[in-house]
Amino acid sequence: MKDPSAFRREAVEKLRKEVPGRAIVAASGGIDSTLAALLAQEALGDRSDALFVDTGLLRAGEVESVRGFYREAGLQFEILDGADRFLGALQDVADPEEKRRRIGREFIRLFEAEAERRGAEVLIQGTIAPDWIESGGQLRDTIKTHHNVGGIPSDVKLRIVEPLRDLYKDEVRALAHHLGVASPDRQPFPGPGLAVRVNGPVSRELLEIERTANRIVEEEIERAFGARQIPRPWQYFAVLLPVRTVGVTGDNRIYGHAVSVRAVESIDAMTATSMELPHELLRTLAERITRALPGKVTRVLYDITDKPPATIEWE
Ligand code: XMP
């Protein structure tokens, strides 16, 4: 990339040429789409609407933290409630790639409806080079279909514009710095959200169990690493497994769910190493998760598999 200020100038000019009318921006709360939205805001002013979708598949507290991050970045935005639509589309779907396809389709259908309502013809996305490379656009076989690329149905009615399409992560960081946007203090999170962390079919009830377990993993790991003043793992989360397992409380035999905890080190998510966590911390996780979800989670496991052969997410 040229220097970030030249990139910004050219990207803004190009956006003005490419978008004569109105546009909407798919804002996910991550740094890439935030920068795309800021460039669109600079190029198009109030002809561009940044839309953040609450899919019902987000983590605990996520809407609030995204709201704070956008305010800090100076981005005008709206939050759309899409939970019923997404959960409806995912009903009884177990296959991970089919989940991604359906989520991709719902995003696009929702954006098409919003664009029509607002008189927009263009959808601006924060896709960067590794997104389409990993989605089978070039070089690699399709590993997992990223929802913002592979999941787009071929009959999409909107013209897609991707101002960051040729940038790599280090260039994104340089651009963020140039635009005065602090990288959000958050770990990478998959576009399909908690849908790929509830293994198998997703329901509101299972998502709620997953959300609670995931919140506890985030809290405990952040506390433990913060206290020792060492950098947090690349990613750390809970996965709700599609198995039932027997447990006891007092005299009662319960048949609950199993949760797997994952914490990995990585540089670029292409490979990853399962972290060695103190046993004390793992015990705390098992205790807190089972206590917070009595009768629902009866077993907590720790995933010690590297990538490869596993992937970071379970689905
Ligand atoms: P895997 O599980 O393939 O994940 O090792 C590599 C990185 O990508 C994230 N991930 C996704 N991100 N849409 C996304 O935007 C997806 O469908 C998706 N699947 C995985 C994952 O969290 C990790 O950081």
3-state secondary structure the chain: CCCHHHHHHHHHHHHHHHCCCEEEEEECCCHHHHHHHHHHHHHHHHHEEEEEEECCCCCCCHHHHHHHHHHHHCCCCEEEECHHHHHHHHCCCCCHHHHHHHHHHHHHHHHHHHHHHHCEEEEECCCCHHHHHHCCCCCCCCCCCCCCCCCCCCCCCCEEECCCCCCCHHHHHHHHHHCCCCCCCCCCCCCCHHHHCECCCCCHHHHHHHHHHHHHHHHHHHHHHHHCCCCCCCEEEEEEEEEEEEEEECCEEEEEEEEEEEEEECCCCCCEEECCCCHHHHHHHHHHHHHHCCCCEEEEEECCCCECCCCCCCC
Contact 313, 190 (CB under 8 A): yes
Q: How many CA atoms lie within 13 A of 82 on its CB side?
A: 26
Residue 29's pLDDT is what? 92
Residues 250-262 have a mean pLDDT of 95
Residue 150 has pLDDT above 60, yes or no: no
pLDDT of residue 142: 46
Residue 139, pLDDT above cutoff 70? no
Residue 282: pLDDT over 90: yes
Nearest CA to ligand 1 atom 19: 190
CA 218 to chain centre: 15
Query: How much is the average pLDDT of 293-314?
Result: 98
Distance from the CA of 5 to the center of ligand 1, in angstroms? 30
Residue 298 to residue 204: CA distance in whole angstroms: 19
Q: Which of 20-29, 112-121, 178-187, 190-199 has the lowest mean pLDDT?
A: 178-187
Ligand 1 pocket test: which of 105, 312, 314 has the largest number of ligand atoms within 8 Å of its C-beta? 312
- Tell whether the model's pLDDT for residue 106 goes beyond 60: yes
What is the per-residue pLDDT for 136?
A: 57
Q: Is the pLDDT of residue 48 over 50?
A: yes
Task: Give the distance (Å) from ligand 1 centre to CA of residue 96.
Answer: 12
* 311 CA → ligand 1 middle, Å: 8
pLDDT, tens only, 204-253:
999 999 999 999 999 999 999 999 899 999 999 999 999 999 999 888 99
* Distance between CA atoms of residues 243 and 26, nearest Å: 35
Mean pLDDT of the 118-140 span: 80
pLDDT at 260 over 90: yes
What confidence score (pLDDT) does residue 131 get? Answer: 81
Task: Tell me which of 142 and 213 has the higher pLDDT.
Answer: 213
Which of 94-103, 153-162, 280-289, 293-302 comes out lowest in average pLDDT? 153-162
- Distance (Å) from CA 147 to ligand 1 centroid: 10
| Distance in angstroms (rounded) separating the CA atoms of residues 160 and 134 | 19
Span 270-290, mean pLDDT? 97
Verify whether ligand 1 is closer than 6 Å to residue 307 (CB atom): yes
What is the average pLDDT score of the chain? Answer: 93
- Position 157 scores a pLDDT of 87
| Ligand 1 neighbourhood includes 266 CB (under 6 angstroms) | no
Long-range CB pairs of 179-183 (<8 Å, 24+ gap) are 179/4, 179/8, 179/35, 179/38, 179/73, 181/31, 181/34, 181/35, 181/38, 181/72, 181/73, 182/72, 183/31
pLDDT score recorded for residue 2: 72
Query: Is residue 147's pLDDT more than 80?
Result: no
- Does position 60 have pLDDT exceeding 80, yes or no? yes
